[in-house]
Amino acid sequence: MSWFKKIRKPIESAQKESRVPEGLWVKCPSCSQILYNKDLTASLSVCTKCSHHFRLSANERLRTLFDGEWEEHDSSLQSLDPLQFTDTKPYAQRLASTMAATGVSDAVITATGRINGREVVVAAMEYAFIGGSMGVVVGEKITRAIERALDRSLPVIIVSCSGGARMMEGTLSLMQMAKISAALARLDRARLPYISVLTDPTTGGVTASFAMLGDVNIAEPKALIGFAGPRVIEQTIRQQLPEGFQRSEFLLEHGMLDMVVERRDLKDVITRVLRFGSRTDERPSVPAEAAAAAPVTTS
Amino acid sequence: MSSTRIPELLEFEEPVGVLLKEIEALSMLPQTADRQRSIDTLRRRADEIRAELYASLTPWQRVLVARHSSRPNTLDYVERLFTGFDELHGDRRFADDHAIVCGFADYKGQPVCLVGHQKGGDTKQKIFRNFGYARPEGYRKALRIMQLAHKFGRPIVVFIDTPAAYPGIESEERGVAEAIAYNLREMVMLDVPIVVIVCGEGGSGGALGLAIGDRVLMQEFAVYSVIPPEGCAAILWRDANRKVEAAEALKITAPDLLQLGLIDEIVPEPAGGAHNDHALACSLVDQALERTLVALAGVPAEARLTERYEKFRRMGREGQAFVDMQSQMPSSSARHPENPVAGGPTGDGGPAA
């Protein structure tokens, strides 16, 4: 009689505290595989099952590229909130809390170090810092990094990971595109190599400036790379975007990238490109000369 | 204002609209000396109110003025300020983009290279010009023509007026980001004077992709922004209707940008905005352009290129836009914690530029 009225109690969870400490396991957002965090670190944050490339912090990125040690530059530059901008909270506050949370002063780390023995200036962007957005500090640090490379005749590598220009610094952010590109023009004319590494995501003003200007443009697999965001495009054309649109492989197919390279191969590929790009003739053996002339170049 | 063609009124021009309607009603009636006098009084009053309104435009109102469909566009300026314009087409790669016009023309008897966004006036023109949204071909065509100017030593005059680069599938497929980026890099190196005039909407990367010059002039009511106020509001507040606030916050007006050091000079506009008096607007641009070109002609090429670099290099300056927290300390370089070489004798010098 009570067959149909019988109320099934859902199976309750044991409500027991998990004995697995937080952060020991990571779920892959692509294939849902549960990954042991140590394995993940060993695989350079690439899923061991589906080879999904997890986003790296700027420091992690530098660790995967450099031989072991590096010298960071301009780490103490901070934005002064030139527009006194306020959205849902004051930008100055947002900056302070982001600095506290990420431990970096803005969305890029610039450093000099060695990649398989070759001295290189690297700028790695930090997505955790307001979406890796480019404001005056990012513009200044990258420009200084390029100028430092020019002074010392070193190659430049910029690892992009950014949503584009930073709205909270308005037109000043926009102009950083011009500033960095101008420095890259000088680097180009000085015949120094510039490798652009595009990682997920690289969009907006970053794509429309230094990220697309590499002598060699290298992307990690399946990274979102584009100028306008997918949502903006969908609104403009009122159509669904095709599968794989604005992913690395799409850009490779359309001739915007030189290669799509898995993270574990990236360092070796970069090494070979740098080898091609290092002219042994006619360029003076700079380190000795420049170091003697300007010991302050690292500051 | 004395012209017979009355441009479409903007929402904030309502007080003027009321008077204009009154004038229209009066002029329908049979003319008498008395009526004519009151029409004249009303006209003067309308002009006064308009001048007052335009003397204190809010940033959002400036956006509306900058987007006004009767605002003089690139081809209007070309027609009034230049002679013998020959338009050149195509990027020699894929297509001819109608949202950017390029060509050769004479300015005060001297050949110059002209480049500019073109929005188009009526609906048919707007569609033909894709509303001024340029595709990659446009930027590549512009650079191709500007490189001809470089080759033949002719100055370049650029008019900026675009909502943005075209955000569409084909734009991305053909690499609009690369096209803009490449222009940014190569325009710095063009060995001829470049004068940029922001004469309408300076829409982010789509504007900047043509806007590298020795001097960047901006019309009084033009705007120049990293993102349209609507887009900014939609992202920051998830509400595109807060565009008025966004326009305020983004600091996109000519006076703001002059103060931030991002433009060199403001070109004044007629009291009711450039759309109200094309002839006067054009002649004001003409004066500024001539003066600027003459000044630039006096600068040696080498110095001009260095100054162009330095001009953009200075955008976002230490002490104004950012600060070096360690500027009092011996060195702004920091050894990475992992770095065993730390403590080397790097403590020399301050934060070199």
Per-residue HEC secondary structure of A76-110 comes to: CEEECCCCCCECCCEHHHHHHHHHHHHCCCCCEEE
pLDDT at A107 exceeding the cut of 50: yes
Q: What is the mean pLDDT of residues A127-138?
A: 96
Residue with tokens 């909407």: B201
3-state secondary structure of B70: coil
Q: Which pLDDT score, from 0 to 100, does residue B77 have?
A: 97
Q: Using the predicted structure, report yes or no on whether residue A292 has a pLDDT greater than 90.
A: no
Average pLDDT in the B276-289 region?
Answer: 96
Among candidate residues B215, B224, B221, B223, the one with its CA nearest the CA of residue B288: B215
* Pair of tokens at residue A294: 């300007």
3-state helix, strand, coil in chain B (%, to 5): 45, 15, 35
Write down the CATH superfamily of domain A56-280.
2-enoyl-CoA Hydratase; Chain A, domain 1 (3.90.226.10)
Nearest to A72 among B188, B205, B334 (CB): B334
Q: Whose CA is closest to B191, among B103, B293, B305, B115?
A: B305
pLDDT of B179 over the 60 cut: yes
Contact B250, B226 (CB under 8 A): yes
Which ipTM did the prediction report? 0.89
Testing the interface with A: which of B180, B183, B185 to mutate, by most A Cβ within 10 A? B185
In terms of Cα–Cα distance, which of A109, A185, A113, A118 is closest to A141? A109
pLDDT at A11: 72
pLDDT band at residue A19 under the 50/70/90 scheme: low
pLDDT value, residue A87: 85
Closest among B2, B1, B349 to A296, alpha carbons compared: B349
Chosen for mutation from A141, A171, A258, A296 (greatest number of chain B CBs closer than 10 Å) is A171
Identify the band that residue B329 occupies on the pLDDT scale cut at 50, 70 and 90: low
B17 or B284, higher pLDDT: B284
Q: Show residues of chain A in contact with B318, CB under 8 Å.
A: 140
Rounded-to-integer distance, Cα A46 and Cα B262, Å: 42
A205 contacts in chain B (CB < 8 Å): 204-205, 226
Nearest to A46 by CA among A54, A57, A36: A54
Give residue-wise pLDDT tens across range A262-278: 999 999 999 999 999 98
Taking the C-alpha atoms of residue B267 and residue B251, their distance in angstroms, rounded to an integer, is 18
Inter-chain contacts counted by CB atoms under 8 A, chains A and B: 247
Each domain of chain A, given as residue ranges in start order, spans 23-54, 56-280
Closest listed residue to residue B74, CA positions, set B219, B224, B265: B219
Closest Cβ–Cβ partner in B171, B185, B316 for A176: B316
Question: Sign of the C-alpha dihedral, residues B64, B69, B74, B76?
Answer: negative
In DSSP notation, A239-254 reads: SPPPTTTTBHHHHHHT
pLDDT tens digits along A183-202: 999 999 999 999 999 999 99
Name the 3-class secondary structure at B322: strand
CB B188 within 8 A of CB A185: yes
Neighbours of B107 (CB within 10 A): 20
pLDDT tops 50 at residue B353: no
Q: Which DSSP letter does residue B275 get? A: G
Task: For residue B327, list chain A residues with Cβ-Cβ distance below 8 A.
Answer: 76
Residues of B in contact with A109 (CB under 8 A): none
Q: A-chain residues within 8 Å CB-CB of B321?
A: 79-80, 82, 136, 169, 172
Q: Would you state the pLDDT for residue A20?
A: 59
Contact map slice: B 243-302 vs A, CB within 8 A: 249-252, 257, 260, 262
Q: Give residue-wise pLDDT tens across range A53-81.
A: 999 999 999 999 999 899 999 999 999 99
Contact B226 A205 (CB under 8 A): yes
- Average pLDDT score over chain B: 90
Question: Are B225 and A139 in contact (CB < 8 Å)?
Answer: no
d(CA A49, CA A89): 41
CA–CA gap between residue A222 and residue A212 (Å, rounded): 17
Exposed, middle or buried, B207 (CB in 10 Å: 0-12/13-18/19+)? buried
